[in-house]
Chain A
Amino acid sequence: MFGRYLVKRLPYMMLVLFGISLLIFFLARVMPGDPARLALGPEATQEQVQALRHRLGLDQPLYTQYYVFVKGLLKGELGMSLVTKRDVSKDLIQRLPATLELVAVAMTIAILGGIPLGMLSALHKDRTIDQLSRVFAFAGVSFPRFWIGIMFQIGIAYTLGLLPITGRISGDPPAHMTGLYLLDSVLTRNLAAFMDSFKHMVLPAVTLSLSPLAQITRLIRASMIEELRKDYTIVSRTIGMPENLNIYKYMLKNAFTATLTVIGLLVGWLIGNAFIVEQVFSWPGMARYGVNSVLRNDFNAVVGVTLVIGVGYVFINFIVDLLYGYLDPRIRLKK
């Protein structure tokens, strides 16, 4: 029953992934600008540029290039980075956990903070806490991430000295198990490393989480208010359901389900803005690597990063879809 739902979505996903690879490839190879020239800079001679072009296979016809590209993809190769001189996939694997950790923590903050705040606002509609959360929500989505990050750095890190200004860890990282420092320190019972990573994580994660937190708050609030008006809410209250059970179980599940689709989008947003936050806090993640690759015209790296993100994003949306189907029986049971 559930499997059928999965199977329906799979070919669609494949099509989308194929499209992504096409799109990225197209962008990288066909747009104006000569990658080899851009990489070597204006001082390079024509022969050097030609040589690089040949090495990168840029003088081949497009379809051959694409074929080579996909072949490499399937083998897990993403070409060579012009900056680090290593295989891009190695660079990515090294840096992916940092970004993953940051995004995951930010999302957790946004959800764990947004749901209670949204519920409080809905249940005390138009009163002080609602007005305050409203102001906070507007501010939260309007803050430029880079600016608020910098403000935090000046205010909290520098002036008050409470937290480190940049970086992911000051001392030694915990023994490598997943690459996620917080998790690894817990798994290896390394309290010092945990505290260290935790302190470094606070500012970047909070900066990144502000906008999704605000959005989730508003969304939960709106959904809960709608739930309060629904017939089934009033009926179950009338026929004897305890009020707090009605709120925290029955209404909340409906409200959360409505929010789920947005959460998928928010993950995409988080990934995009991780690029900025990682820059501000010198966070050694994949996103920062991506930005530097863009700034240095390191094409293979740019393509690699985009591909990983694209695939990851499709995957996450798929999971969100599954979750949605699981939570809302109307979706999976309607023939």
Chain B
Amino acid sequence: MEQVLRRKEKGNLARAFYRFKKNPLSLIGLGIILTMVLIAIFAPFIAPYPGDAGGAVHFKEMFQSPSWKHSFGTDEVGRDVLSRIIFGSRISLTLGIVVLSVAVGVGIPLGLFAGYFGGKVETVIMRITDIFLSIPPLVLALVVTAVLERNLQNSMFAIAFTWWPWYARLAYGQTLSKKEEDFVEVSESLGASRLYIIFGEILPNMTSPLLVKITLDMGYAILAGAALGFLGLGAQPPTPEWGTLVSLGRVHLPKMWWLSTFSGLAIFVTVLGFNLLGDGLRDFFDVEVD
């Protein structure tokens, strides 16, 4: 029976697509992300009142509830909420990309080195990683923002600062299991440089779990960034970051409910999209990710 069941080959592209398509939720996720990306790119053209994204004020129009003129209503100085949310997508997506680039760029090489070279390098890197991981990530990010000036860039840095250990750990684990495999031994015996082996052989073999994790983490990075924004530790007004918008609107609850509701909804939908997509990718690659 084992022989019969083992026929299911992995990694066949056609099969992978079949698995991905089998899951309508992943397609929805993909759709959401693509829509968000397009909205972010074409924000100035899509937003009905692009000027409202910044510091414009129209006191005459303040606190209008959702209507035909302003689909999501207006805020406390008369700005169109929909436009602000549209521009907010730029901020959140950028935040996600930046955070992940830094976390991956720092974490992965460190993990690779720790796994491949072993010995003192391994001990030092992994101990540092452990220490970072021993504090819940949001808490650490909070502390970092505490000592820096409060703005968007610093909040991005803070989150990346707390996230790189996860990628280091992922790369470390993957390297440990891969470095014993044949293709590595072959390269070593052929005299390939160690850097080449690490980045050219081992790294490409972990793209699947890495891609899945990055996709999922995009959503969580945006969530973290919004959380910091909500607490007032991230982007400052008038920047229309989604989390900041929610906290600004909170003061006017419950009457002016549209201020907080729609911006939070935007966060939710975006994060959901990344989650669905990431889950679908997990099926696509047929991998286990921690």
Contacts and interface: CB of A to CB of B under 8 A. Distances in A.
- A and B in contact, CB less than 8 Å: yes
Contacts of B223: 142, 144
Given A147-B264, A272-B136, A275-B142, A291 B271 contact: no
Contacts of B272: 138-139, 142
A260 interface: no
Counting chain A residues whose Cβ lies within 8 A of the other chain, the interface size class is 35 or more
B148 A32 contact: yes
B260 A150 contact: yes
Nearest to A146: B230
Interface stretch (A12-20, A56-64, A242-250, A320-328): A12-20
Contact of A19 (B127, B139, B226, B267): B127
Interface string B94-137: 00000000000000000000000000000000011011101111
A232 interface: no
A309 B232 CA distance: 21
Interface in A132-191: 134, 138-139, 141-148, 150-151, 153-154, 158-159
Interface residues of B, number: 47
Interface string A18-34: 01101110011001110
A197 interface: no
A144 B128 CA distance: 30
A313 interface: yes
Interface in A164-222: none
B231 A276 contact: yes
Interface in B242-286: 243, 246-247, 250, 253-254, 257, 260-261, 264-265, 267-268, 271-272, 275-276, 279
Given A15-B127, A144-B267, A276 B227 contact: yes
Given A275-B142, A297-B146, A145 B227 contact: yes
A290 interface: yes
B138 interface: yes
Nearest to B130: A16
Contact of B226 (A139, A144, A159): A144
23 contacts: A16-B131, A139-B268, A144-B227, A144-B230, A144-B267, A146-B226, A147-B246, A151-B261, A154-B257, A159-B254, A268-B137, A269-B138, A271-B139, A273-B227, A275-B138, A276-B230, A276-B231, A293-B146, A294-B231, A295-B231, A302-B143, A310-B134, A317-B134
Interface of B: 25, 127-128, 130-132, 134-140, 142-149, 219, 223, 226-227, 230-233, 243, 246-247, 250, 253-254, 257, 260-261, 264-265, 267-268, 271-272, 275-276, 279
